[in-house]
Each structure stands twice: as C-alpha cells, then as structure tokens.
Amino acid sequence: MRLTIVTLLITVFFINLSSFAQTSVPQYPYDDSQTLAYVESPVSHSYTETEVKERITKMKSPIVTMKYTPVVSSYVKTYSLLKRDRTEWMLGRTVMYFPIFEKYLKERGLPNDLKYLSVVESALNPSAVSRSGAVGLWQFMPPTGKEYGLSISSLMDERKDPHKSTQAALTYLARLYKRFGSWELALAAYNGGPGRVNRAIKRGRSKNFWTIKKYLPKETRNYIPAFIGATYIMKNYDKHQLTPVYPEPDLQLTEATKIYQSVSFQQISDVTGVPIRLIEVLNPAYAFQNIPHSREGNYVILPQFAMGSFLQFLGRPDTELTRITVTPPIVGTAVANNPNYFKTTYMVAPGDDIIKVADMFKCEPNDIKNWNYLTSPTLAPGLKLIVYMPKSRDKWTEVASLPSKNFTISQPEFESIEEKDIQLLPQPEPIKFSFFKSNKKDKKVYYQLRRRETLLDITKKY
C-alpha cells in the first residue's frame, strides 16, 4: 500500500513538471505558500539569487514593471536549471520566429518586448497544444482564433501559421491594450479573459495589476511574473551558461510568399530540392503535406535559396508576388562573443568525418558547418576547422585528453577572453540564382533545379 502511494506521488510530481509547451497558462505551477531556494547543480555556481534579483530590478521594460518575486524566482530557476535542455532548444528557435514577430510589431508600432509573450505561451513551438485545446505559437483557443480570422479545419490550422497567428495575436493584444490602458492588464486579459480582469478591477478599485492580482485566478495572477521570468532569461541566458541549440541554416534564412492555388509538399520538394521534412517544419499549419487553395491566400515559407525555383514553378514573375524575407544572421558564430567559450582550430586528419569531429568537441555537426561556412559535410584531410569550446573544465579536459595532436587551443588557460582575441567570421553572401555576376553586355544565366539536384551538383557543371 505504501509503495503504491509513493509511486502515485512521484508520477504526479513529474506530470507537473511536464514540457513547456503542454499548456497555455504559465507552465510551471507555483505555490505561493512556498519559498523556493536555488538547488545545487553543476551550473548553480554561475549565479546566485541575489545576482538575479539585482539584474531584474535594473531591467527596463515598456510592458511590465520588472519586479523580483518568489514566483519570478521559480520561473528563472525552471528555465535556467530544471529545464535547461528545453530552454536551449527554445533559445535556438528565436532565429526562426523573432524576426517574424519583430516585423509585425514594428509595422503596428507595438513594443518589441511583446515577442516574449510567445515564450510564455508556447516556448516557441508552433505545434504546441495545451490541455485546454489552445494551439500554436500564441495559443489560440478555437473560438478566439476564428474570431480573429484564423482558419481551423481538417486541412489546415492557421493557429500554427507563424505569420497569420502572429498578426491575429497582435490585433487581439492591441485591442486589449486599448480597452484597459495597461500592458500588464492586457496580458492578464490575454490569459484569463477580459471579463475576469474587469471583475478584478471592480473589486480592487484599481487598474494596477499588482494591486488587483489577488482577485484574479491563480494562473492569471502568476502570468505577469511568468512574463518577467521569460523576458529575463531571454536577455540574460548567457549569464546562466545556456547555449542556444540553433537550427540548420536553411531554417534560419527563409522567405515567405502568399499563394492561392493548391500545391503539395512533394511538388515543392521536386522543384526546389528542399527535403519534405524541412518544408513541414517551416509550414506546420498544413495537414496531409498539402497546401489547399484559398481566395485569401496561404503563406508558404521556404529557405531563401529555394524561393526562386518555387516561384518559377508557379509560372509567375517574382515581382508579381509579395515576398517576405526573414534574414537573421547565421548564428553558429554567435558563441565567439560568449565569454563562456574560447576558439580552437582543428586540422582534419585522414579518416575524419564531420560527425566524428563533432563528437570529439562535444558539439553538433551543424555547428561545425555554420562556424566554417561549409556547404558540404565532407571534410578533406588537412582542412583547418574553427571550433568553439566551452570553458567548463570538465568538458575541456575530455577533449584535451584525446590522443590527437591535430587541434590547437587558442586560449589554453581559463582566463577571460579579451575583445581583441575574438575574431568574427565574415557573413556569407546570399545565394542567388544568377550564376554570373554580369555587366550590362553579358547575359544572365538562370538554371532550374532538377529533381533531387543540389547546388553542389550545379557548381560542378559550371
């Protein structure tokens, strides 16, 4: 009997610590009666609660008053300690979605920090589904989604569409702000509904969130502290030794366009060479790997290099279609500015491949490709690679003890890296489909990709 009770309690505990994206309310339930202390962990020495409190109270936000409370503390702890792997995954996805959010926020004149609301809602997972049925980056319930123009059917769910759901969410937030005159109350209403906020205002006789929060349901009461915790971690993740897990470059450098006809993912893959798995990641709103026809138009998001071929396939000149370019910098080199990393160089030995080198340096193959702007995973013997290594002694010792003499440590001691020692790699030129940089007298050559043909195949031909 005792064993059964203990097993049940353990099960309930782990259910409560489930993934970020399983609910649209603050994802880490917090009991106001508890005082949550920072637990000892392999990285807990990197900061103290006093340091976090000082940073938060010094931060400025156009949306909320940056207060440090026990609830805020619990969210910071969850992001930085308890769920580090998921936080690092989420940080990497900012390069896919923040440029989209920032584009529409700027167009509407709304505060840029509103983009952090999607961190609270979905942990930047466009396919997130809450227990109550809310879906997408901005966690719309079906009635609210339809009210703000999002199509929800067996063929597609625009709550998962990064462009359309963002536009709908910002329209809703702007309306709530106009109604309440406070971003804190607007965010609370986004979570708990305008009716609950109105009732709390009447009971508390105030329009100050911190004054009336005791009259709000618990999940809404903790919503602003959740937003503060998310804002803090997104701006200070490096101080907690969190390393973003960035997606591959084809998911970072993208373009979107509206189309009105039906087209399958297989057709898109055939004419562009983009794998179906990448098309699915970039276009999560569509069921059955098919984009249905629409009078209003549906967004198609593709890697930048593939959009030209896709538009040619549609049979219409590029200039007739509105294209939205999202071009964040390729961020594999961003660790060069991170004081927790130092640069090393490694000379490829015979028999090495990119997976072997990545395993050696405890990183991902895509990191090596990004750091060195490699277009192919094939490594030639003698090639010098740039690799960024964590300054953690444990991880450094693992690599330094390898029986290889091919790598050189640029920063052998665990000292702070001075600005002069950091060499930023040049940004690559964008890929274009005009293969000759011509003058006015020359002819431009355009080439349409064949099925399963890659840019490497074309470079060999020309």
Active site residues: 121
What one-character DSSP code corresponds to residue 137?
T
Task: Tell me the C-alpha distance between 359 and 351, whole Å.
Answer: 14
Q: Report the DSSP beta bridge partners of residue 256.
A: 301, 324
Among 299, 273, 274, 296, which residue's Cα sits nearest to residue 286?
299
**Structure-block tokens of residue 375:** 């277009």
Q: Report the DSSP beta bridge partners of residue 385.
A: 346
Burial class (CB in 10 A: 0-12, 13-18, 19+), 306: buried
Cα Rg of the chain (Å, integer)? 25
Residues 6+ apart with CB under 8 A from 314: 259, 261, 321
Residues 6+ apart with CB under 8 A from 298: 156, 258, 259, 260, 285, 286, 291, 292
Task: Tell me the C-alpha distance between 368 and 331, whole Å.
Answer: 12
**Structure-block tokens of residue 88:** 């690092």
349 Cα distance to chain centroid = 35
